Amino acid sequence: MLRQVSRMDKVAAPQMKRLIALQEGVLESFALVPEEYGLLLSDDLSTVLDEVEMSAVLARRRAALRAHLGSVDRRVVQGRIRELQEEVAALEEGSALRASFEAALEGRRGELAATDAVPAAIGTINAQLEGIEGLLGNLRGELLALDPGLSPYALESGLVAIKDRVSYFRRGLDEATRSLEAGLPEEAPVR
């Protein structure tokens, strides 16, 4: 899926290529870990690889948000809001026509609010993708450093560090996802 996003979104292509290379490097490093330690890390590695695949979805979502942001002319929407406010003010209180214009006005305000939330959502996605890149780079190094010739304490310490890093990463990603979901109004396109 990363390769597909790389082909479809030229802005994201360099980052997707880095993620592909890092993912392959982590898998290669994991293959070098002694089997008994690999078993202890397999669930963590699976979690990380699932998140890497999720990065393709994030990149596609970021592209959709950028496209949406590029398609909205704030001045036009703000001008339409002013026009609708004038229309509402000119209509009789309680009329059906006024209610229709008020609903349209609220819709336009919602459109503007959704557009205002998009840059923050893009920033959150960028942070998530950078976090995935950082984790993969660190994880590869830590996996390569797991030498069966190390003392049992050093080896155990390395395994614990890897598990802690994955756990910390997962919590951060969950928090960023909640933030992203909470920050976008319902009207915003999030594909």
Inside any domain, residue 31 = yes
pLDDT tens per residue, range 60-107 = 888 889 889 989 999 999 999 999 999 999 999 989 999 999 999 999
Number of domains in the chain: 1
The sign of the CA dihedral 139, 140, 144, 145 is negative
Inside any domain, residue 37 = yes
pLDDT tens per residue, range 104-131 = 999 999 999 989 989 998 998 888 888 8
Inside any domain, residue 145 = yes
Inside any domain, residue 77 = no
Inside any domain, residue 45 = yes
Specify whether the CB–CB gap between 2 and 16 falls below 8 A. yes
Q: Which two tokens stand for residue 128?
A: 């998530």
Domain interval for residue 46:
2-72+120-183
CA distances 176 to 19, 60, 124, Å, are 19, 17, 7
Inside any domain, residue 85 = no
Inside any domain, residue 129 = yes
Listing DSSP states for 39-89 in one string gives: HHHHHHHHHHHHHHHHHHHHHHHHHHHHHHHHH--HHHHHHHHHHHHHHHH
Question: Cα–Cα distance between 128 and 172 in angstroms, integer?
Answer: 8
Inside any domain, residue 106 = no
CA distances 114 to 68, 84, 139, Å, are 10, 18, 37
